[in-house]
Copies of this chain bind each other. A is one copy, B any other.
């Protein structure tokens, strides 16, 4: 029925005249999903932001789910535990996470959607399983404990993101980057490498 194409302008070699429109749609979608969550981010509003007709969104991304899938793709690019001193992994992870949350709004969108949308939650689980777990597997002493230790680190890092970038608790927003690193790095370090209590 729709014989055209998939998504992701710029990754494949094909150049299309509509690439500008496609990226505009994705950018607007990311913004809206990050600001409003899944339900309140309407296709009409996204199209309005991108200055095109709502039907274009459907043509290029199939439906709302497809748009979300195309708009939110996460590459954490976490530091490799092998490439730095064992006792610095906590600090490295915290700083990397702060960078990630502040360099664009993809993670905010993912968290806002994940909180109320089943598909969004599953996508977050996927990111955790395939991008956070491997780091724990390399960093922690006993590989069998890796899932639990990765889970603990995730509670701390996602809790920071939740209160700072989503709920926007004033005292959490007021923390400086240095304060956050100084307080949280030892926690994450302990969750990953300290002996079980």
Q: Which residues does A use to contact B, with CB under 8 Å?
A: 36-40, 111-112, 114-116, 121, 124-125, 128, 147-148, 150-152, 154-160, 162-164, 166-172, 174-175, 179, 182-184, 186-187, 190-191, 196-197
Cross-chain contact B169 with A163 (CB below 8 angstroms): no
Can you report 13 residue pairs joining A to B where beta carbons are below 8 Å apart? A36-B116, A37-B115, A39-B39, A115-B115, A115-B167, A150-B171, A151-B171, A154-B169, A155-B172, A156-B156, A159-B159, A159-B160, A183-B197
Cross-chain contact A151 with B167 (CB below 8 angstroms): no
- The chain B residue with its CB closest to the CB of A160 is B155
Given A36-B116, A125-B169, A159-B160, output 5 extra A-B contacts at Cβ < 8 Å. A37-B116, A111-B115, A148-B174, A155-B164, A159-B162
Minimal beta-carbon separation of A86 from chain B (angstroms): 19
Given A115-B112, A175-B148, verify A159-B154 contact (CB < 8 Å).
Answer: yes
Cross-chain contact A162 with B158 (CB below 8 angstroms): yes
Minimal beta-carbon separation of A111 from chain B (angstroms): 7
Complex: A98 Cα to B26 Cα, angstroms: 39
Given A148-B179, A158-B159, A159-B155, verify A167-B124 contact (CB < 8 Å).
Answer: yes
- The chain B residue with its CB closest to the CB of A37 is B116
> Which 5 pairs between the two chains have the least Cβ-Cβ distance?
A159-B159, A37-B116, A115-B115, A39-B39, A151-B171
Residues of the B chain whose Cβ atoms lie less than 8 Å from the Cβ of A170: 125, 147
